[in-house]
């Protein structure tokens, strides 16, 4: 009997719903595990070709995220629009083999916008637990520089649809539940398997890009060079409900 009473008290304490409609604004910092396998293949081959370079693999990315949203009165659902910037880069130099001594730089700058449906599982005015799903669009602009005796470089871009699913919590600092610290963990699936060359100079050596002509698909081993935003996305930031 006591257990039932405690359970009812616990659930009742989280029975809060937004009594009035709310608008939502948030600014967040993100970190994601996005393994760029095709570009990492280029880096590995450049290291072997040059006889050793200091350029590391691309294995993670940093993100700047905004959240704009609306939550109807007496509803556990919120409707969000989330634009974000995605950035990852690596650079280095070295080489011992003649003709391949120089700088090796690889970077990706991405943009995405995701409509998100959020459902509040449990909440009161100090803490809110939620789950969410979203489907969105994203684009990545990339640049590859292998600056040796031939000053080789290529700029490219591509876009595609993706989706995410995640869990999160907000810790609110005031009695009205308006000013909150936001923490999230999302699984995002967002591959960009086809990229087009925007600019190119020089001739890439054997083992590197096999096609990099402006207006054409950029290719590795005679197939499309792929990029990705896929991975675990962690988010921390500030959210304002008004």
Angle at 93 between CA 52 and CA 48, to 5 degrees: 25
Task: Tell me how far apart the terminal alpha carbons of the chain are, to the nearest angstrom.
Answer: 40
In 3D, which of 154, 144, 162, 166 has the Cα closest to residue 91?
144
- pTM metric for this prediction: 0.87
Dihedrals phi, psi of 173, to nearest 5 degrees? -95, -15
Contact 94, 52 (CB under 8 A): yes
The residues of the chain scoring below 70 in pLDDT are 1-19, 149-150
Query: What pLDDT is recorded for position 10?
Result: 43
| CA gap 58, 107 in Å, rounded | 9
pLDDT in tens, 189-224: 999 999 999 999 998 988 899 999 999 999 999 999
Query: What pLDDT is recorded for position 12?
Result: 44
Please state, in angstroms and as integers, the Cα–Cα distance from residue 11 to each residue in 121, 123, 176, following that order: 11, 9, 20
Query: What pLDDT is recorded for position 151?
Result: 79
Query: What pLDDT is recorded for position 17?
Result: 56
**Greatest extent of the chain over all pairs of C-alpha atoms, in Å:** 82
Structural domains in the chain plus CATH codes: 21-241 (2.40.160.20)
Query: What pLDDT is recorded for position 5?
Result: 45
């Amino acid at each position: 009997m006591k257990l039932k009473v405690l359970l009812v008290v616990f659930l009742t304490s989280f029975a809060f719903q937004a009594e009035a409609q709310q608008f939502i604004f948030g600014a967040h910092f993100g970190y994601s595990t996005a393994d760029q396998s095709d570009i990492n293949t280029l880096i590995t081959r450049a290291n072997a070709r040059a006889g050793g370079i200091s350029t590391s693999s691309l294995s993670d990315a940093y993100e700047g995220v905004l959240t704009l949203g609306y939550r109807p009165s007496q509803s556990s659902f919120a409707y969000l629009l989330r634009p974000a910037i995605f950035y990852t880069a690596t650079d280095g130099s070295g080489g011992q083999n003649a003709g391949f001594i120089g700088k090796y730089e690889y970077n990706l700058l991405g943009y995405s916008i995701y409509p998100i449906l959020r459902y509040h599982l449990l909440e009161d005015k100090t803490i809110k637990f939620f789950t969410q799903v979203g489907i969105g669009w994203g684009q990545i602009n990339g640049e590859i520089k292998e600056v040796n005796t031939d000053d080789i470089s290529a700029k490219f871009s591509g876009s595609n649809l993706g989706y995410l699913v995640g869990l999160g919590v907000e810790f609110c600092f005031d009695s009205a539940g308006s000013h909150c610290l936001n923490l999230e963990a999302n699984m995002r699936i967002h591959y960009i398997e086809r990229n087009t060359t925007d600019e190119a100079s020089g001739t890439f050596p054997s083992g590197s890009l096999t096609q990099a002509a402006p207006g054409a698909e950029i290719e590795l081993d005679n197939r499309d060079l792929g990029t990705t935003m896929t991975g675990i996305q962690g988010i921390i930031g500030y959210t304002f409900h008004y």
